[in-house]
Amino acid sequence: MRFYSDQHAFYCGVDLHARTMSLCVLDERGDVRLEKTAKTGRDRFLRLVEPFGNKLVVAAECVFCWYWLADLCADRQINFVLGHALYMKAIHGGKAKNDRIDAEKIARLLRGGNLPMAYVYPREKRSTRDLLRRRTFLVRRRAEALGHITNTHSQYNLPPAGPLYRKALRADVVSRFDDESVRRMIAADVTLVDHYDDIIRELENHLERHAKIHDPYTYQLLRSVPGIGRVLALVILYEIDTIERFPSVGQFVSYCRLVKCAHESAGKKLGSGGSKIGNAHLKWAFSEVVPLMMRECEQARRFVQRRERKVGKGKAMSILAARIARAVYHMLKRKKPFDINTFFAH
């Protein structure tokens, strides 16, 4: 957890919503200089903070609508801090809660150096990252349609449909059913899958072109890891942004949700927590690399088999995912391609 500790003349906390925003500005002594709730808008925000000039630092919680505020502050050279929503317990733990109180709490956390920071993703690559996440959403909807086709075969006690991921393999799937309504239902699923295939293919080509513009060297470095193909390389590239934002490999692996954080008090272990804190997309990506690496690399299969005898297959694959994340961190830091022999040397 990182906290913002820089000193400023004025501290502004913003409780931001799609239609309204509540502002609270404190001076360096902690006195309230402005407390206002207004409609959300660029011009209105600038008019409210104009008296404080560039001596102001603005903080907002990491909710869905922070993009415009971060970009506006960057354009006007106003310091902006993004608060980590899951760490900001002081906002949600009070007896009374409303937008005005939340804005003041954000400002006081900011002034006291206790505001937990989230990463402000650069606007140049932000839209591409969001498009990549949308592509993942579409892939899951496609998988749901394919799963429904398979389940319908089971409902009518028909032999398995077989692999349906290619268009040619779905050609006669509708004719297997006798009932007209069922045929129409399966035809609708097949049509959806065909459209998803076209959309996803176009998005992947677009994303790869942008990756070769934004950071072609890192993209090729990631492709050197066995099991990391085009899509996984794109996910890792855009979810990391720059490896320099992680001072240590431990922080990177923790951000990827690949390690458990212990909870201890008075020498007693109270389990672990924080499983929801971190990047779910990186967690998914590195977990997907493991079976693909095992498919390509005999050394990876032996690694999992050795540990499987002691901790089980699931835990063994999680260990390998964490090791791959560590290797990727050092690989990107040193700007050197992945070496499978060095990776499994010990």
Concatenate the DSSP letters of all residues of 54-75 into one string: GGEEEEEE--TT-HHHHHHHHH
The pLDDT assigned to 292 comes to 96
Take residue 178 and report the two structure tokens written for it.
Answer: 């006798």
237-255 average pLDDT score: 95
* Token duo for residue 269: 């272990």
Please report which confidence band the pLDDT of residue 90 belongs to, taking 50, 70 and 90 as the band edges. low
Residue 282 has pLDDT above 90, yes or no: yes
- Cα distances from 206 to residues 82, 128, 134, 140, 218, in angstroms, run 29, 9, 13, 19, 17
pLDDT at 246: 95
Q: Which of 75, 24, 81, 19 is nearest to 52 (CA)?
A: 24
Higher-confidence position of 85 and 128: 128
Give the pLDDT confidence of 119-170 residue by residue, as tens digits: 999 999 999 999 999 999 999 999 999 999 999 999 999 888 778 888 888 8
- 193: tokens are 């899958």
In angstroms, the CA 250 to CA 227 distance is: 23
Report d(CA 80, CA 102) in Å as an integer.
17
Cβ 20 vs Cβ 40: under 8 Å = yes
Q: Is 269 helix (H, G, I), strand (E, B) or coil?
A: strand
Reduced to 3 states (helix: H, G, I; strand: E, B; else coil), residue 6 is: coil
pLDDT band per the 50, 70, 90 thresholds, residue 71: very high
